[in-house]
């Protein structure tokens, strides 16, 4: 594999009144149009319909594709070339994680907002799992959040024992860290800057060589961040061996994380460094993964 460094009408006298009503209607329509244009992202050539942005996501990365979809509770940048998101971004809070979980959906669905959408059948008999980028468990606090997490724009081809092994370990630890720190900003996705392993399905979905996850705790008293890049394959290595700085993930993915949130000078150290002692890893989860999850 390529080198990887680890560390959504009357006539007559009523005519005047009609003119007035038409004039008022035109004014109201104009005002509504202005509001609509303010809060709606018009589609590019790669999307159909409109994508309504009612959420002020100030922590989303910069999109390299120009196709940003705003879903309830998470945003994503879609790559028409690779038929999957280059990143998904969302806020993960202890309050949401502690809410009762809604029922998990069982059906994956195409996303009609993009042209030539990927379908669940593209993954059939491919040897790869339909891997969530924004995990269903992170979106289990609301029905609409859960439903949108099962759209195929939130799915990427993951090796079975990667998805159910080390990636599961990282997702579960991320929820633990969010509970411990109250709120985390999470950005995750496939590494598309490097040549894919190949493609699957009639839609030609790229199979990423690796996946990344970036976590930011931007609250006092101790702001901190950490990143991971993990090969898309089974792993028996300890998870912390794949840890690195947010800036290192940027360099390997070609993406820019938190451009509206982090100050280039004041927050430089936050992006360039990391401390694994500030993130509690689990020996028990590592043992579960290497002794059970990797074989399931």
Strands (DSSP E) contained in the chain are 40-41, 51-52, 68-71, 74-79, 84-93, 128-132, 155-159, 183-190, 198-200, 205-207, 210-217, 224-231, 243-244
Q: How far apart are CA 238 and CA 166, in angstroms?
A: 9
The catalytic position among 8, 82, 132, 263 is 132
Annotated catalytic, 82?
no
Contact 232, 158 (CB under 8 A): yes
Q: pTM of the predicted model, to two decimals? A: 0.83
Q: Which residues pair with 225 in a beta bridge?
A: 216
Residue 99 has pLDDT above 50, yes or no: yes
Average pLDDT value for residue range 7-22: 40
128-183 pLDDT tens trace: 999 999 999 999 999 999 999 999 999 999 999 999 999 999 999 999 999 999 99
Neighbours of 147 (CB within 10 A): 17
């Amino acid at each position: 594999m390529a080198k990887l460094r680890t560390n959504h009408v009357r006539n007559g006298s009523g005519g005047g009144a009609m003119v007035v009503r038409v004039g008022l209607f035109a004014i109201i329509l104009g005002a509504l149009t202005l509001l609509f244009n303010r809060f709606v992202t018009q589609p590019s050539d790669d999307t159909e319909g409109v994508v309504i942005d009612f959420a002020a996501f100030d922590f989303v990365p910069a999109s390299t594709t120009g196709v940003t979809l705003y879903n309830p509770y998470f945003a994503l940048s879609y790559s028409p070339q690779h038929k999957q998101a280059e990143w998904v971004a969302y806020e993960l809070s202890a309050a949401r994680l502690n809410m009762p979980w809604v029922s998990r959906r069982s059906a994956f669905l195409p996303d009609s907002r993009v042209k030539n959408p990927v379908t669940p059948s593209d993954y059939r008999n491919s040897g790869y799992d339909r891997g969530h980028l924004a995990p269903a468990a992170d979106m289990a606090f609301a029905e609409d959040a859960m439903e949108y997490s099962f759209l195929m724009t939130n799915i990427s081809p993951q090796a079975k024992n990667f998805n159910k092994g080390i990636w599961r370990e990282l997702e579960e630890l991320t929820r633990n860290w969010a509970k411990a720190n109250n709120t985390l900003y999470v950005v995750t996705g496939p590494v598309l800057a490097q040549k894919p392993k190949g493609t699957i399905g009639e839609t030609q979905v790229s199979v990423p060589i690796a996946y990344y996850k970036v976590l930011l705790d931007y609250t006092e008293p101790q702001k901190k961040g950490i990143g991971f890049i993990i090969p898309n394959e089974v792993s028996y290595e300890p998870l912390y061996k794949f840890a690195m700085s947010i800036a290192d993930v940027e360099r390997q993915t070609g993406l820019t994380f938190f451009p509206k949130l982090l100050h280039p000078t004041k927050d430089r150290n936050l992006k360039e460094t990391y401390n694994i002692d500030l993130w509690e890893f689990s020996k028990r989860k590592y043992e579960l993964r290497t002794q059970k999850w990797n074989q399931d």
